[in-house]
Chain A
């Protein structure tokens, strides 16, 4: 029975959502769907509470047992307490209705200041690391070891140059150099390539790479992933795949 109840819940709720997609004007179906959506919003909100309690318990346990690095756990608890105290200030709405407005996170309040001065720079800094890691990964991994790698490298450089104004600037500067060579002959103009590529040839080429071969590959991957998602969903709805709740074999 312990394994059957979750399967029944999954099937009923999933089937209701599906029915509502096809018959949204049926009051029973639509009403049940709205009920399930409300329950899911409430459940997700309580899931945050679960996370907070779990976090506090595990950190308090490490502090109590004085495990290695327990000072950092204490800093976490203290940060949580201070932020919660300031951010959880609330007020009743002026009309005296039952709605409560959390004012601690509004502009100008201390809770908001903590978010802006502590969390925002920290989050931005961690994400900024991606730029440096991209540079080191590009240095390490983009080697022209074979034909495919050369093609990949060429496309990558064209797309990178096409994404920024420098690409067209450099190419146009290069063209103007060619046109000043002694014979005064510009292959680019002779082949009327300027009429095809326009004033921004590198951007144009970059767009063509992104919108033709890359888009085709993107669609193929999306399509395959979508079919995989459909089958995974059917397996979960029908109880064939139960490993997500430790159910083991079907």
Chain B
């Protein structure tokens, strides 16, 4: 049975080895270069804008639960955003679709306030649970946008059919909007309606980018290295299949099998 999944095991070992290799090089002091992501560079501007207007920041971690990897990435970003908001003394409103995410988010924001040296400004009531139902959550969030008029809306995580409803309502209220999702069907809606958008793996890289932690940045380097390796394998496979070179086609069939 193990041999049936040997290809998956090799990929897993490669990924882990790549990650730890780049983390070990980061310990030697070489700070990796990561190109700037406009959406992330605009976070500070968005929070600053909210502070100037005296309005809150609205943060949504998507419609996923904590077992969704995009929600975990969003919570990592929340950690940085809430720290910045705490420094500027700007309220952060975060409705949640899941009670477990709410509890996790409350812990994250509380720790951020502690790190920013502002434990007194932490408001647990600002991070609350709304409903597990998608459109009940969306209706509530739209109401919050219309009533409180946040100056900055940050949508990070897994979004589905409600993405355009949220983004259009936010646009109508005049907020600066930054979105990030790996849901490919919703990326076009966010690109059209938001000011900045993180696409696909940029969401996962975002928490590392914002943290400026060498280990986290090294993990992005590892991702890119693995991507280059996979690209090389795909290229070799394409050439081998085109030339009908059997050893390569057999290897590719085995390597790519589920």
Known interface pairs A133-B165, A229-B69; A47-B100 also in contact (CB < 8 Å): yes
Query: Restricting to B204-228, which residues have a CB under 8 Å from any CB of A?
Result: 204-205, 207, 211, 213, 215-216, 219, 222-223, 226-227
Pick from A127, A134, A243 the residue with the most CB of B within 10 Å: A243
- Give, as a whole number of angstroms, the nearest-CB distance from B3 to chain A: 10
A224 x B227 contact (CB < 8 A): yes
A133 CB contacts on chain B under 8 angstroms: 164-165, 168
Per-position binary interface string of chain B over residues 176-204, scored 1 when its CB falls under 8 Å from any chain A CB and 0 otherwise = 00000010100101001100000111011
Q: Is the CB of A228 within 8 A of B8?
A: no
Residues of the A chain whose Cβ atoms lie less than 8 Å from the Cβ of B2: 22-23
Min distance, Cβ B11 to any Cβ of chain A, angstroms: 8
Structural contact, A244 and B15, CB atoms closer than 8 A? no
Chain B residue numbers with a CB within 8 Å of A225 are 182, 184, 200-201, 204
A127 neighbours in B (Cβ, 8 Å): 135, 161-162
Out of A126, A136, A229, name the residue touching B204 (CB < 8 Å): A229
A198 at the interface (CB under 8 A from B): no
Measured between alpha carbons, how far is A136 from B12 in the docked complex, in Å?
Answer: 45
A141 touches B192 (CB 8 A): yes
Contact with B along A197-231 (1 / 0, CB 8 A): 00000000000000000000010011111011111
B128 contacts the other chain (Cβ, under 8 Å)? yes
Q: Do A246 and B111 contact each other (CB < 8 Å), given the known contacts A137-B168, A234-B16? A: yes
Task: Flag the segment in A48-56, A97-105, A169-177, A182-190 that touches B.
Answer: A48-56
Asked, given contacts A55-B129, A241-B76, whether A50 binds B135 with beta carbons under 8 Å apart, the answer is no
Interface of A is mostly: helix
Contact status A244-B104, CB under 8 Å: yes
Interchain CB contact under 8 A, B9 and A22: yes
What CA separation (Å) do A49 and B115 show in the bound complex?
Answer: 32
What A residues does B12 contact at CB under 8 A? 18
Query: Count the A residues whose beta carbon is within 8 Å of the partner chain — how many?
Result: 53
4 additional contacts, CB 8 Å, given A228-B223, A231-B204? A22-B9, A58-B125, A122-B136, A244-B104
A-side residues, CB < 8 A to B, are: 18, 21-25, 44, 47-48, 50-51, 54-55, 58, 119, 122-123, 126-127, 129-130, 133-134, 136-137, 141-142, 218, 221-225, 227-236, 240-241, 243-250
Interface residues of B (CB under 8 A from A): 1-2, 5, 8-9, 12, 15-16, 19, 23, 65-66, 69, 72-73, 75-76, 79, 98-100, 102-104, 107-112, 115, 125, 128-136, 138-139, 161-162, 164-165, 168, 182, 184, 187, 189, 192-193, 199-201, 203-205, 207, 211, 213, 215-216, 219, 222-223, 226-227, 230
- The 21 listed contacts between A and B (C-beta, < 8 Å) are A24-B1, A47-B98, A50-B100, A55-B129, A134-B164, A137-B164, A141-B192, A218-B184, A224-B201, A227-B226, A228-B182, A228-B200, A228-B223, A231-B15, A231-B204, A232-B204, A234-B19, A245-B104, A246-B108, A246-B109, A248-B79
